[in-house]
Structure 1
Amino acid sequence: MDSTPQVGIVGAGGIAPPHIEGWLALGAEVGILRRTGADALAEQYRIRIHDSLDALLDASEIVDIVSPTPSHPDIAQAAFDRGRHVVCEKPLALTASDAQAMTDAAHAAAVRLFPAHVVRYFDGYRRLHEQRETVGRMLELTFRRTVAAPSAAWFYSQELGGGLIRDLMIHDLDQALWLAGPVAEVSATQDRADEQPPVSAHVTLTHVNGAISHVRADWFGPETPFRSQVEVVGADGALRFGTDELGGAREGYLPPASDLDPYRAQLADFLDALRTGRDARVTPEDGVAAVALVDAAYASLASGHPVVL
């Protein structure tokens, strides 16, 4: 790969700025596909704007997909067909089968696919993962994530690729897998339909190793600060982390700013993985596994019963 990465951004919503800022901090040349909101971002960050996906693909080595979830597979396939590596915001796709198809297509094209599960790059979560064996046999994990609800209507519609579990809770479903391993059973409840805030959901995971994860996510009103917490309890001790430790709660659905920017860290990890040939901290298989838990949680909501994997 060239020493100056050539990156094309597809998507201009609220998650686009952290990705753009991360790439620019890493010295990349960045372009963005023209769509609603992209002109303002191009002007703000002084990046190129492309009028078509083909033009963006011509100019890019890496395509960073930050558009709504249903669009991910087609954009990724177009990139794979042109031999481009792909960074894709979580979730990879609407369903685990679609996410697996993306993974298979990347492998067939001999390019890399990186699911952007940014919470793995929060320093506190990374340290907790590194120390997890100090608690002994894991017994119970508890996750809580509360943010201001998004304003765009599609976030609330499962049919349009949104939904609280798919869009927000997937961060902690991925954390549960990263910390405690594969899951045998999923049970989910939600207090109301995804129409407008407040919306809260609770998912219980029974891991293959016997540990139980309790995962809660909330979309609350517009003044709600971002907050997340995790506790891991084992036979020999406990570990805890919360974003309150970073100081300075931030309104909206992005975490408080810190010196160790997790968005830049995840992109730096992917770049290093490309240059060295190693796996990134998040693999395509991790992305598929997280979507599979989302599928199971929604199946449990629909049936009112636990889902056995």
Structure 2
Amino acid sequence: MNQLRIGLIGAGGIAGAHIAGWQQLGAHVSVYSRSGAAALVEQYGIDDVGSLEALLEVSDMVGILTPTPSHYGYAMAAFAAGKDVICEKPLAETFERAAVMANTALAAGVRLFPAHVVRFFPDYELAKEQLDSGAVGVPAALELSRAGAAPAAGSWFFDEARGGGIVRDQMIHDLDQASCLAGDVTRVYAEQDPPSVDGILPRPVTAQVELTHQNGAISQLLGEWGPDTLRFSTSLRVEGPDGIISFASPRNAGGIEDEQPSENGIAGYLPELDVADSPYTRQNAEFAAARTSGKPSRVSPAEGVIAVALAEAAAESIRCGHAVDFSNEAVLALLHSAI
């Protein structure tokens, strides 16, 4: 069997987790980045490629790890070159652009894999399995939280036109989880404190999002970009007529996430685990297998598009001060295929 050749675009903090995972899977890794690649080359022994065109030439599959505004352009170039793509969340700045990415991949006969890695964290996987098995019945109320130190002051994350702010960048994980666990959404209400000024978020900042699902369930989401001393944490609680599923991190054993840097991870994203157990390793392994088999992956392009659309609806609610209607069908109507 030929060795899988992975080309990564971007050398930011998340790159190390992807590289370590791909190397664990036996792939050959190359990287193209406008800055920061030298440190990764030295640490991991990967190839540094000098241009996007060169990276596409030496890769079977491309991972886009760059800031959100660049995802669309890099993905379209990769599709034009006939390459499958794993794209970090969110897929794009708007759900319309994300839909174009999904449609272009389909037309080109290649795969687009949205990297919603929280789907691969053990406790979230277990919650999904328990719900699917009917362990607590149809979910009626969900609470999801995600908090950690804010990104560096002045970075693109705080620019609503570029990063999309806390909702699209951080809380999109829990928007995706709520949609995955409780189903289609019909109404979105959101608040942010303090408010943005001229399209720039304050630091620190919190946001709350309430989702009304088609089945009547209500999801309450809380996100926080806090002070530098704030320890990273997440929680999930699902109430059904037959019981409750809940967890909170960080935990001492088998925890989900921790703010401490690890040898094979990055601050705020990975627990202190062997790289073989990393959610990034398992995510990329599943995507690589789906690429080979042609079978659907755990996270479909349509779900990646819907997550961006939910984030946009929340942002609109924050702007207008009231709830906004949401339609999964309207989003999916933009797609040539929901697979």
Tell whether the structures are fold-level matches, with TM greater than 0.5.
yes
Tell me which moved more, 186-195 or 99-108. Answer: 186-195
Query: SS at the partner of 1:20?
Result: helix
Query: What corresponds to 2:9 in structure 1?
Result: 10
In 2: Cα distance, 1:253 partner to 1:65 partner = 20
Q: Contact 1:57–1:79 at 8 Å: present in 2 too?
A: yes
Q: Tell me if 1:122 matches 2:131.
A: no
CA distance in 2, matches of 1:244, 1:57: 39
The alpha-carbon deviation at position 44 of structure 1 amounts to: 1.3
- Which deviates more from structure 2 when the two are superposed, residues 250-259 or residues 211-220? 250-259
Give the whole-Å Cα distance in 1 for the aligned partners of 2:99 and 2:181: 22
Q: Distance in 1 between matches of 2:83 and 2:129?
A: 32
Q: Hey, what's the Cα distance between the residues in 1 that align with 2:202 and 2:11?
A: 22
**Distance between the aligned counterparts of 2:258 and 2:292, measured in 1?**
36
**Displacement of 1:20 after TM fit?**
1.1
Contact 2:160 2:201 in 1 (8 A): no
Distance 2:247 2:270 in 1: 14
Tell me the amino acid that sits aligned with residue 259 of structure 2: R
Alignment partner for residue 221 of structure 2, among 202, 215, 227? 215
Q: Which residue number corresponds to residue 130 of structure 2?
A: 131
For the pair 1:98 / 2:97, whether they are aligned, the reply is yes
Distance, in Å, in 2 between the alignment partners of 1:257 and 1:225 is: 15
1:67 is matched with 66
Does 202-211 or 259-268 show the bigger shift? Answer: 259-268
Instruction: Please give the alpha-carbon distance, in whole angstroms, between the structure 1 residues aligned to 2:247 and 2:181.
Output: 13
Residue type of the alignment partner of 2:61: I
- CA contact 1:243–1:256 (8 Å) conserved in 2: no
In the alignment, is residue 267 of structure 1 matched against residue 284 of structure 2? yes
- Per-residue CA shift, 1:83-109, capped at 9, x if unaligned? 000000000001111100000000000
Q: Give 1:153 shift.
A: 1.0
**Secondary structure of 1:278 counterpart:** coil
Moved more, 12-21 or 76-85: 12-21
The residue that corresponds to 1:186 in the other structure is 188
**Cα separation, 2, equivalents of 1:178 and 1:3:** 35
1:137 Cα offset (Å): 2.4
Q: Contact 2:258–2:269 (CA<8 Å) still a contact in 1?
A: no
Q: Which amino acid aligns with 1:37?
A: G
The match for 1:258 among 273, 281, 291 is: 273
Structure 1 residue 226 displacement after superposition: 1.7
- Which amino acid letter does the alignment assign opposite residue 321 of structure 2? G
Distance 1:298 1:290 in 2: 12
**How far 1:249 sits from its partner (Å)?**
3.6
Cα distance in 1 for partners of 2:2, 2:278 equals 22
When the two structures are superposed, what TM-score results if normalisation uses the length of structure 1? 0.96
Q: CA deviation at 1:138?
A: 1.5
Of 2-11 and 224-233, more deviation after overlay is shown by 2-11
Matched position secondary structure for 1:269? helix
Q: Look up the match of 1:199.
A: 205
SS state of the match for residue 274, structure 1? helix
Q: 1:144 is paired with a residue of what secondary structure?
A: strand
Cα distance in 2 for partners of 1:206, 1:280 equals: 26
2:7/2:63 contact within 8 Å kept:
yes
- Alpha-carbon RMSD across the aligned residues, in angstroms, is 1.4
Q: Is the 8 A contact 2:206 2:222 kept in 1?
A: yes
Pairwise mapping of residues 8-47 of structure 1 onto structure 2 (< 5 A)?
Answer: 8-47=7-46
CA contact (8 A) 2:62 2:83 kept: yes
Match of 1:149 in 2: 150
In the alignment, the residues of structure 2 paired with residue 13 and residue 261 of structure 1 have an alpha-carbon distance, to the nearest angstrom, of 18
Q: Contact between 1:150 and 1:253, CA under 8 Å: does it hold in 2?
A: no
Show structure 1 runs of 5+ residues with no match. none
CA contact (8 A) 2:165 2:201 kept: no
Q: Supply the distance in 2 between the matched residues of 1:198 and 1:253 (Cα, whole angstroms).
A: 16
Runs of 4+ in structure 1 over 6 Å off:
none
Cα distance in 2 for partners of 1:238, 1:195 equals 35
Q: Secondary structure at the match of 1:268?
A: helix
What is the identity, as a one-letter code, of the residue corresponding to 1:166?
R
Q: Distance in 2 between matches of 1:139 and 1:94?
A: 31
State the partner residue of 1:229. 235
Unaligned runs of 5+ in 2: 261-266, 327-339
Report how far residue 196 of structure 1 moved. 4.3
Q: CA deviation at 1:135?
A: 1.1
* Matches of 2:4 and 2:321, distance apart in 1: 48
3-state secondary structure, aligned to 1:138: coil
Three-state SS of the structure 2 residue aligned to 1:282 is: coil
Q: Secondary structure at the match of 1:98?
A: helix
Amino acid at match of 2:273: S
CA distance in 1, matches of 2:158, 2:92: 16
Report the count of equivalent residues.
308
The TM-score, its normalising length taken from structure 2, stands at: 0.88
